Structure 1
């Protein structure tokens, strides 16, 4: 029965050039055996089959759920996802994205009626202390089961129809998944654009007008100073377009450097590049992309692969760079490719890669602000499978990959006086598809790290709470918050000794990194995500949402907190909301490319005590860290962190130091005589709410760059646009004058008067 059903699904998928989903529900061993039977029935090539499972010992390629990233950029005839031991939403998206037209995606699941009530390894990751596995709900799987039972093109087989039966005996087909679609229509070659410069054979290899437009845009890689962004959902041929362009550039003598999370992710790029070189260059491109990571063209051009970290150094001075699956790379790494003569970024829009939205949320602004002339092209028409593919629409529905905020017209003109504060309980979200889609769509659109796993966390994690502002039932702002702290002494002691405690980010930082064993005892609410509709930003909605959150939870917690990739704008926002700095990470976040800041807003005495001791520790750390681990932090980020730190700094200089500072400010002295004294004055000036020292922005940046970070005079003068190094030195002296007036005692003021009287 299973073999016959698999053959029917495969034949229909091949005829329509679509994919089909086969769900094998029931006992795990029977499910795996049934998957084997189905693979054999459709006569799939063993080298074109992948199994994502925690089990081992299969004759097919086996990937652990956490290793499903290896499917990025690859095409498979059959992918089997074992959902029993660890059902990871990200892995589902990656598995589906790898199945080619005419192929099958198989899910081996528990019995569908029982699945939402079962708990697995992924659920354990949601049971963050002090919550337990019993507190985790199964609403996400309930949602997945509902889509399995109702979506077209999904076949469901109940394997437990006969107790003790084997696959193929005593099973029941709940749904056959057959849709009787029309046969796929042959594609017509789009042709070569009149203004194109690449060979005609390159455009003859394009399968859709979208792909042809992408190749035409990628011709700009031949021109230094050009950047091209190619975006699409998976299966639209963006990697193939990049490969066609790379091969054509190599034929023209260019050195094309290609990078991706792994070489297998770039397999389509190299296959198409090799095809172009073979067609135009008499077979010069070689034959085995797995063994030969360089395609060489007759005229000396080449297409070569390097892993991202190595490629970012631009070894060999390539003429251009192609970054495939760009959204799966850290923003900090992407920034380094802006040093290339020309660069292309190819990225997936709806995040099957599960790597977040660092590219679209953070990196696109930096690319736009670069010196590159940027061209954008988007591919919408599927290539690896036909339009209306049921697997694509099912995965998008199950994982909300196409979740979007409310259309701007529906919320236009909204003000803070129009909105209603609303709790978004998991039950409400599960029951209201529009509410869930708009809330999750805001989180996806506004944050670089939202991924399919976060949908499961939103619906099932016991430590998370969601709140929103709505107008006429449309979501205009949303906050996702985590309960943290309140941990028992044993857990706190383990955290202090280096044990990782999931879901308690701020207590973990303050305890394990900053060595405060008592930090995990107070209870806190951390804002994990906050997003305002893009059409309504700047109208105070984010602040209103936080105000209501503070009012609701003020009696339940000791403090509110937030951790984020520090930018001047975000630091100002959170400072205005009453949050104060307690930590700045020494390394940059891989995804955001920024140093992470932690800020607290105390509620009761315990929260105030926590803030007081860590604000003081931050003040003491930064005096030294700014010339060491934080030497490269943006000056405005430093200003923002220090301005939001409420710890006061005593200025206790020796008579000699005061004479040196006054001489450098009002007389002929030099800064280098007493740099430590200047550092104490700079810290005191930039800390907290002090506003009685009248310095402009550039003067404060000068204190950061030269005095606190110890950068060379010439580099500081150039960055801050002083006409010369001497002018920069004089400016520091002038900036120190109000510091002397504010902090100097009788000795300093008398010394000042000596120079003033001259």
Structure 2
């Protein structure tokens, strides 16, 4: 195919990328792709095919595994979209194509594509909806961008007709010179000789102070700028000097570039040692140092065991996980500003202030010049628009005067979002900001999923607060029975948990709206806009659903926010979320009699089982999270002490009763206070933390005394006695109080 050869020749001449879209029937497009690759001179060793493996050479990846391309570069990638048009796969494929390379997209006829339904659409069809209910707005928008952006060729493979040539006839570029190392550098010259841009040289230099405790570095860049490579070169240099460098990232594949570059520079310097232990593949050793990988959860608990920590793709990790790395001797955060891996904007807004308040001396580096391809590459600008990689909220100035009273409530239907690019970008920009892991798939879900809705508050036409909602429940009896027997259902997170884990087969009958995400513009936070938005949602859906709900990684601030908006705890997960590192809370706000019945029975069972759960799987739950979660439970726990228990409890404050003899009655008193306090401020925060750690979670006396900063274990025991005395006077009857007075 002559056009493919011309496209690649043009791309190679100016170190840019080009896209070739082949439309038509699957066999015709795959045959045309084979011809195009052959004409363009792409070797099978430099090719990856994402999708079905029919006839095409090279490496093959299923669409769902396209993420394995992250951190890699290929001369060409074929993305076969006939069976599934998955935005995540498109984002990964675009990012893997090197300068001078081609991205081939195989698709149905562009005019028909938005109306086709594929396996990705089936994933968007959350029961009880079917695939016929899925819209095609994402592909409508994708087709428009393919037909509008330079550098994109469109060819009908059935007829051979060229709709667009994609040729831009750019002016020749001046070859990029080799950057020079800084005059005064501490790392070996080999680390700087491996850099490809001045930006990368500056970034590697930013790592030099990390050899000394008390230093932090932030490296920000768009994709393809070489930030992970810079981190790897620096890690190798630091390990050569005898330091223990701990590297973490959302998955090892995200950090693979760090290890590849570290290994290369260590080999160049002759410092790389043979691995002693074949069971530690993610480790590079030198004579006295090493570079090693650990997942974020493990790394966060091992910061004191390394000389420094490098957090790669930091924007893809939650803020509360990132905060744990502030305990490291020195730390570096590298992050993608706009990209498939995560949203650097969210990292900047939500974490940078915490870093600035730390004791670290903070250095910053930004990489702007691309390495994989030339600046101004047209495929990069197309990908940014098609996947909204650069979406961001409105600028601060235009929303600065927004208040809860001035904002207008908006129902943002998917068709309206498709037709209003300005609204779509501001909505998606705020959602990216709200969540540490917003992916291109989420854009398609927002535009096409039949159960997903968007509600927003606007000020002078700009989005100041946004909520993403998902309709759940109203499930047929056959599906509910399947779930009860252990089957899983897409979407429907709250009915799924209440049915499969909590054994309530009827939980899928009521219909609800779950708040998937909610975000308020950072310039106008703490003005009640989020609460106002939730109240508007409640007003809109009060007569249309049985419940409103939410599930999220629990922190004290978030639990209080949802509780203040009328949501009540019905469940707390017993395992931590792999990405957030938090235990999740599920909360409901009933809207009907059926919703109230659902919430009441699960709140009741939560009250009955939570003491045993806190003493076993949740014995490491943060006490402040436990306090807020319990405070948000509806109802009053039963105390109901037996006569022996009453005598024991009454004797604890004076020392004649021993708590360890029978902790259960104190647990019941503690639960009664934490769920439904007789007087809200009857106990101090520290007294409530003591109840959680000792009475409910059963930690040892020495551990509790140390954590809560008591001067001695004996003082900790006396403090619990005083707290028990207060509980007895708050919740005991006259007889119990009289027994207490005998001992005090």
> Where on the TM-score scale, by shorter chain, does this alignment land: which range?
over 0.9
- The answer to whether 1:441 aligns with 2:443 is no
Where does residue 569 of structure 1 map in the other structure? 557
User: Structure 2 vs 1, CA of residues 591 and 313 (structure 1 numbering), >3 Å: closer, same or farther?
Assistant: closer
Aligned-residue Cα RMSD (Å) equals 2.8
User: Structure 2 vs 1, CA of residues 17 and 515 (structure 1 numbering), >3 Å: closer, same or farther?
Assistant: same
Where does residue 93 of structure 1 map in the other structure? 91
Counterpart selection for 2:220 from 226, 231, 243: 231
1:360, 1:448 within 8 Å by CA — same for their partners in 2?
Answer: no
Work out the CA distance in 1 between the residues paired with 2:264 and 2:663: 63
Q: Secondary structure at 1:511's aligned position in 2?
A: helix
Work out the CA distance in 1 between the residues paired with 2:349 and 2:610: 29
Work out the CA distance in 1 between the residues paired with 2:517 and 2:297: 29
Shift of 1:660: 1.7
Q: Secondary structure at 1:80's aligned position in 2?
A: strand
Farther-moved stretch of structure 1 (363-372 vs 692-701): 363-372
Where does residue 73 of structure 2 map in the other structure? 75
Gaps of 5+ in 1: 162-170
Where does residue 117 of structure 2 map in the other structure? 119
Shift of 1:323: 4.2
Q: Secondary structure at 1:548's aligned position in 2?
A: helix
User: Structure 2 vs 1, CA of residues 263 and 449 (structure 1 numbering), >3 Å: closer, same or farther?
Assistant: closer
Shift of 1:15: 1.4
Farther-moved stretch of structure 1 (601-610 vs 360-369): 360-369
Work out the CA distance in 2 between the residues paired with 1:178 and 1:236: 25
- The answer to whether 1:641 aligns with 2:629 is yes
- The answer to whether 1:222 aligns with 2:208 is no
Shift of 1:158: 1.3
Where does residue 13 of structure 1 map in the other structure? 11
Counterpart selection for 2:620 from 606, 621, 632: 632
1:331, 1:358 within 8 Å by CA — same for their partners in 2?
Answer: no
Work out the CA distance in 2 between the residues paired with 1:194 and 1:284: 30
Work out the CA distance in 2 between the residues paired with 1:743 and 1:253: 61
Counterpart selection for 1:473 from 430, 436, 461: 461
2:156, 2:162 within 8 Å by CA — same for their partners in 1?
Answer: yes
- The answer to whether 1:246 aligns with 2:244 is no
Q: Secondary structure at 1:665's aligned position in 2?
A: coil
Work out the CA distance in 2 between the residues paired with 1:530 and 1:336: 24
Work out the CA distance in 2 between the residues paired with 1:283 and 1:414: 58
Per-residue deviation, residues 550-603 of structure 1 (Å, max 9, x unmatched): 111111011111111111111111111111000000001112111111001111
Where does residue 50 of structure 1 map in the other structure? 48
User: Structure 2 vs 1, CA of residues 357 and 27 (structure 1 numbering), >3 Å: closer, same or farther?
Assistant: farther
Counterpart selection for 2:584 from 563, 577, 596: 596
Farther-moved stretch of structure 1 (254-263 vs 126-135): 254-263
Alignment of 1:195-210 (within 5 A): 195-210=184-199
Counterpart selection for 1:109 from 107, 113, 122: 107
Where does residue 495 of structure 1 map in the other structure? 483
Q: Secondary structure at 2:454's aligned position in 1?
A: strand
Work out the CA distance in 1 between the residues paired with 2:129 and 2:441: 19
Q: Secondary structure at 2:652's aligned position in 1?
A: helix
Work out the CA distance in 2 between the residues paired with 1:623 and 1:307: 31
1:644, 1:689 within 8 Å by CA — same for their partners in 2?
Answer: no
Q: Secondary structure at 1:400's aligned position in 2?
A: coil
Farther-moved stretch of structure 1 (272-281 vs 315-324): 315-324
Shift of 1:357: 9.2
User: Structure 2 vs 1, CA of residues 456 and 707 (structure 1 numbering), >3 Å: closer, same or farther?
Assistant: same
Where does residue 721 of structure 1 map in the other structure? 709
1:580, 1:645 within 8 Å by CA — same for their partners in 2?
Answer: yes
2:349, 2:522 within 8 Å by CA — same for their partners in 1?
Answer: no
- The answer to whether 1:738 aligns with 2:734 is no
Per-residue deviation, residues 710-752 of structure 1 (Å, max 9, x unmatched): 1112221222222222221111111122211122123212122
Where does residue 403 of structure 1 map in the other structure? 391
1:644, 1:688 within 8 Å by CA — same for their partners in 2?
Answer: no
* TM, length-normalised to structure 2: 0.93
Work out the CA distance in 2 between the residues paired with 1:301 and 1:639: 44
2:240, 2:271 within 8 Å by CA — same for their partners in 1?
Answer: no
Where does residue 427 of structure 1 map in the other structure? 415
User: Structure 2 vs 1, CA of residues 370 and 498 (structure 1 numbering), >3 Å: closer, same or farther?
Assistant: farther
User: Structure 2 vs 1, CA of residues 509 and 474 (structure 1 numbering), >3 Å: closer, same or farther?
Assistant: same
Where does residue 655 of structure 1 map in the other structure? 643
Counterpart selection for 2:167 from 147, 157, 178: 178
Shift of 1:354: 6.5
2:313, 2:342 within 8 Å by CA — same for their partners in 1?
Answer: no
Shift of 1:364: 6.3
Counterpart selection for 2:337 from 349, 363, 376: 349
- The answer to whether 1:677 aligns with 2:682 is no
2:5, 2:39 within 8 Å by CA — same for their partners in 1?
Answer: yes
